[in-house]
Amino acid sequence: MSNEGCELDMTPMIDVVFQLMIFFIVTIKMEADINPDIVLEKGPYGPIIKGEDPRMLVVEVDRRGSISIHNAHMNTQVFKQIMRARVNRVGHNFPVLIRGDQRAKHADIRKVMDICSGVGIWKIQFAAVKQYASEM
């Protein structure tokens, strides 16, 4: 009799559990396709990257000058072919964001920019850190 008295109602608990699960699943970001070794320079005055444009191409240049897209490293020839194919497919208007390591030499960044302008993309964006997560 006393056991039955302290029986819990499960329904609100299950509600809360599902709410929590949905919240975390929706907010979790799977960004395994960026190179975590790249250290970006601080740029607090640039506009925030919203990442709303699905056509955006992120090109990474690490401190040794190696070019990669989605963590796949490539030489300049392959990068040029990729850019040509992409321009043929979606046109010249997609945004290109260069995530260049702060220690990378401009000569390496230049290779990426030259290939972009070579296929007709004049507008280039550079990524910088507006605010570090540790400062929030």
Residue ranges binding other proteins (CB under 8 A): 7-8, 10, 13, 17, 20-21, 24, 27-29, 31, 40-49, 61, 97, 100-110, 113-114, 116-118, 121-133, 136
Rounded least distance, CB 88 to other proteins, Å: 19
Q: Which is nearer to other proteins, 82 or 104 (CB)?
A: 104
List C-alpha distances in Å: 95 to 19, 31, 52.
36, 19, 11
Residue 122 and residue 96: Cα distance in Å, rounded? 9
Judged by CB, which is closer to other proteins: 29, or 89?
29
Q: Quote the CA–CA distance of 81 and 88 in Å, as a whole number.
A: 11
* Minimum distance of other proteins from residue 89's CB (angstroms): 21
Nearest C-alpha neighbor of 80 from the set 102, 54, 59, 103: 59
